[in-house]
Every structure is written in C-alpha cells, then in structure tokens.
Chains A and B, each alone.
Chain A
C-alpha cells in the first residue's frame, strides 16, 4: 500500500493552526495534519476497508508527526459526494474526535478536492470534476482556479452520464475524476481519470475555510450525499393483497 509522509511548508502568511482532516469518500483512505507551517499526510488505497484503516491512520499520523491530540484546533472531513458508507465513516470518526476534544469541524467537498489536485498539476483554469456515483450515475461540479485554490461555479450535481455530457458541451477546460471511466465518457480524454479525493489536497481547502471562520458545529457540516432518493418502493407502489382505498 502506498504510504506517504511529506512535511511541507505552507505560505508564510498562513494563520498558524493545527488541523486534522480525514477522508474516505473514494476507494482511497487518507488523513492529513497541519501544525503551523508543517504538514503530514497518509494515503492508502483501501476499498471497503476504510473503517479498519481510518482511525489507525489518524493515530499513526499524530505519532509520526509528534503532534498531541490536545494540540488539535479543528478537524475536517471529506463530506462528499462519494461513497455513502465512506462519507459516514469519516463523519462518524470526525464526530467522535470533535466531541471528545471539543473541536470545531468543517466539511470539504470531494469534487473540489479532485478539481484542486488537477489544477495543481496543470495550466488550466477550469476543471469539471466527475466522480462515479454508481447505480449508473455520476457526481459532477465545475470549478475555477482562484489563486492557489479553486471555487465552485454553480452547484454540485448528481445525474446520468448523459446529463453530465450535456453540461460538458459548453465547458472549456479539463475533465477529471473516476467518473471518466464509465463507458459513456469513452470519447473524453482520460488523462485525469485517476484523480481521486485526498486528504492532503483537502487540507489546503480546510486551511482556507479555517481562515474564513467557516469551521463550526457538526450539525453545520453534515454529509453531502447529493442523491437523496433510494431504490426502495414506497408502500403504495408495492403489490398489495387487498384493495387500496
């Protein structure tokens, strides 16, 4: 499993803070930590093993960074969209730690993470982040470069690949994310198809949110599923032995 610890210096003007971020919104399981101008991260490809790995990775990261739990000032998580179960694993781990250590929290968009990672490796100013939403659908969002970061243009969406392709007709920029691996996107360039949400990228977004005062309560930062319908028939759509009034 790939495992990376990369100390890196942030821009000098950053407000000093000590933030932890956890993400399990894709097949990757990743954690990142900042303290002042230093940062550390761990990332593993752990499909279906996020619950087993996330907390041990948090523990390992803090130990290896020499950061004590009491030093943490805030905690963020990949709030989705993405794997529903993964988002909940990250949300639950975040809730436990935040409640115990009395930390403010923040949810970071997984689509924005995909976009920012792509922008950091390219000259483009616009990215359409497209993630596989399963059940034949994709999540997508249009992001525009803004300084070192990026911002969402419009809203994040869930829908059919055809709906996404429709949105791409008027789009001029890079398309990135694992949604590109769906057959409907075969005619699109696949250069950025392997970009996934990752905690180390999200850390920059969390730092920005921290500086903007956007950290808050757990209730203020719920998971973002985008898809709110369930493939479950309501009672009046189910077969009935008796006549319905």
Chain B
C-alpha cells in the first residue's frame, strides 16, 4: 500500500510518500521558522495561512521526487490532532478531499503516534515492546509501547514541555529564535557545573516531569549575573550549559526509572528535542548501562514531518481503519485512546524506492 502523508499540526508543512513494501519513497518538510522569528514564537494564524500556501506545492514536489502520479496512490493520511486547530484543518481538509476525489481511503493520524513510530522508518527499527520518550516543544511524555496502538502513558510533564522550557530559557537570554537549538549550540561553550540547577521531581517516585521551576531558576540566575541589563557571553554559555545538563539529566533519570520499572530495556527518543546531541548521548549510555539499546530517527524525522504520518497512516489503513468525509481535528487527544493494530513492515527484499529525503 502506497500512502501520501500530510502533517500541518504546527509550524512545519511535512509531506511524504510511504510504501508498505518499499519503505519511505520521498519526503519534504517546509519549516516556517523565518515566518515566526520576529514574534519569538509560533503565531497560529500565520502558521495556518502558510500551510495553505505550501502544502500543495510540496505534494507536487514529493510526487515528482518519487516519480509517481496520483494514480499510484492507495491512500491518504493526515494529522488530525493534537495540535493547532487552524493549522490541522488545512492538512486534514486537503488530504481528505484529495482522497475523496481520487476514491481512495483516508485516515486521520495522531501526531504523537507518528512521532512514536518514526524510528520504525529507519533501517534498524526497534522490536516491540519499547519505552518511548517523546520530547518536543509541545510534549514531554514517557510511553510504554507494546505494539501499534498499544500505548500506556507512564509519565508526562505537569507544566512546560521540555522543548518549551528550552525555548523560554533561550528567549530570556535574548538568543535568536528558535531558541532551543540556539541554546544547545551555546551550551557547548559553557561550563555545565558553574550553577547548581535542580533536577525537578527526581527526588521522589514517579515518572512525571516539571520544568517550570527550572525555567524560574534560569530567570533568577540571569538577573543575578546581568550587569546593567547586559549578560556577558560567557554567562549565557554557562547558563545554557547548566540548563541543558539539568534537562538532559532529568529526562535520563526518568527514562532509566521507566526502564527499570517496566523491565523493558529498549528506549526510543522522538520529537524535536530528540535531535539534541547531548540528550542522545546521555540516553545511549543510560540504556547501555541497563544492558539495553536506544533508538532514534535521523534528526529530520525527529522534528515534525510527513513521513511519520504516512507511516502511521499506512499501518492503520492496512488494518482497515478509515476516516469518513466529515473532517474532525482534535486539539487534545489522549494517545491511549487509540486502537491496537498489527504492524506491517517493509519487505527487506523489495526493491528500494526513490532516494530517502
């Protein structure tokens, strides 16, 4: 089955083509970072408007890249939540009407399920069950994955998502948008032991997270270090390093706890923060110390993309699931409400499709 995937839940327009036998055939992502930079955050109305402009040209590009026409499609998948309603509606209405006009089945996909299954797009996908750490600007969750649609939420952030805390800390220091990657880059030049930042909620049992206190600590540290409203470059680098170390340590402590608690030693990292090198390294050593392994998608499939939606949609379409013509998008949608389906994997002997992204 060959499925076109559309992702428009936030500030990235992602389009991809996935084949259940050949794997990922083509994918493109258009990032709206420049559009939102002057606001220092995603402006929902501008995001929605840009999806209307970019989605269709990207579909054309992906079809061309794969050397296929619409007649070669067997289904259409689109993100139907969670996310920004106005942004979600663009991809969902476009995807659903495209499928209607082509007389194809269509499926609305859970954005986080897409992230969670993104490592399955790589050559060495993890076998079930595994623990998934979903870390992005909108989510911080630990999920036990026993199969597709078989998810148990082990813990989540009670306030800010990890990526959100990164962005806010960066913004306080006046770093350029998007702040998370800018902060990480600066952290490489800093002393991560200069300030004592807390590892929130690690001194008590449980797998939930909280990052708002850490953000407050960054604020007070900035005010202590700043002279006449100016923060020295080394202070910025040191605060960045200490902040990143605190977030990474906190995530690692909880991941380790989740693996010990469940007896599952395979860990996957997904979501935009999953592209953070220090986090990847720390979780690799954490998993290996437990005799396990860590899996993550290539960085471009960590951030929002159409490939993960095409993949998750394919799994559900193959299982016979379909969304009807009434397009519904869901800003909040518990992943644990999804139904289980069997997993179909690409045929290792099948001819490879077009070049990957």
The interface of chain A, by Cβ under 8 A from chain B, is 51-56, 58-59, 69, 84-85, 88-89, 91-97, 99-101, 218, 222-223, 225, 230, 232-235, 238, 240-244
Contact = CB atoms under 8 A, between A and B. Distances in A.
Nearest to A22: B97
A56 B328 CA distance: 12
A84 B45 contact: yes
B319 interface: no
11 contacts: A52-B327, A53-B326, A84-B48, A88-B86, A88-B89, A88-B93, A89-B93, A93-B96, A96-B93, A96-B97, A99-B98
B188 interface: no
Interface string B204-236: 000000000000000100110010111100000
Contacts of B92: 51, 92
B14 to A, nearest CB: 16
B293 interface: no
A19 B99 CA distance: 20
B43 A230 contact: yes
Contacts of B172: 241-242
4 tightest CB-CB pairs across the interface, nearest first? A96-B97, A243-B229, A100-B101, A92-B93
B46 interface: yes
A79 to B, nearest CB: 11
Given A51-B92, A243-B228, 13 more contacts: A52-B328, A56-B325, A89-B89, A92-B91, A93-B97, A96-B95, A218-B56, A225-B49, A241-B172, A241-B223, A242-B230, A242-B231, A244-B174
- The interface residues of chain A, by DSSP majority, are classed as helix
B53 interface: yes
From B52, B86, B91, name the one whose CB has the most chain A CB atoms within 10 angstroms: B52
Nearest to A237: B39
B1 interface: no
Contacts of A92: 52, 55, 89-94, 97
B203 interface: no
A94 B90 CA distance: 11
Contact of B102 (A84, A88, A100, A244): A100
Interface in B217-262: 219, 222-223, 226, 228-231
Contacts of B307: none
Contact of A96 (B101, B173, B326): B101
A208 B300 CA distance: 47
Contact of B97 (A52, A55, A235, A238): A55
B100 A97 contact: yes
B70 interface: yes
Nearest to B100: A55
Nearest to A49: B326
A100 B59 CA distance: 11
B330 to A, nearest CB: 12
Interface residues of B, number: 49
B222 A93 contact: no
B38 interface: yes
Interface in B294-336: 324-329
B interface majority secondary structure? helix
A155 B93 CA distance: 30
B100 A235 contact: no
B40 interface: yes
Interface of B: 38-40, 43, 45-46, 48-49, 52-53, 55-56, 59-60, 70, 85-86, 89-102, 172-174, 177, 219, 222-223, 226, 228-231, 324-329
Given A223-B52, A230-B43, A96 B226 contact: no
Interface centre among A51, A91, A96 (most CB of B within 10 A): A96
A55 B328 CA distance: 12
B101 A95 contact: no
Contacts of A234: 38-40
B126 to A, nearest CB: 35
Given A92-B97, A230-B46, A235-B38, A85 B222 contact: no
A218 B90 CA distance: 14
B90 A88 contact: yes
A94 B94 CA distance: 8
A230 B45 contact: yes
Contacts of A53: 326
A240 B98 contact: no
A55 B98 contact: no
Nearest to A234: B38
Contacts of B230: 242-243
Contacts of A94: 97
A93 B326 CA distance: 12
A143 B32 CA distance: 38
Contacts of B40: 234-235, 238
Contacts of A69: 101
Contact of A242 (B45, B60, B174): B174
Contact of B56 (A58, A99, A240): A99
Given A55-B326, A88-B90, A242 B101 contact: no
Nearest to A101: B101
A156 B194 CA distance: 60
A19 B25 CA distance: 35
Contacts of A222: 52-53
B56 A95 contact: yes
B89 A241 contact: no
Contact of B48 (A56, A88, A243): A88
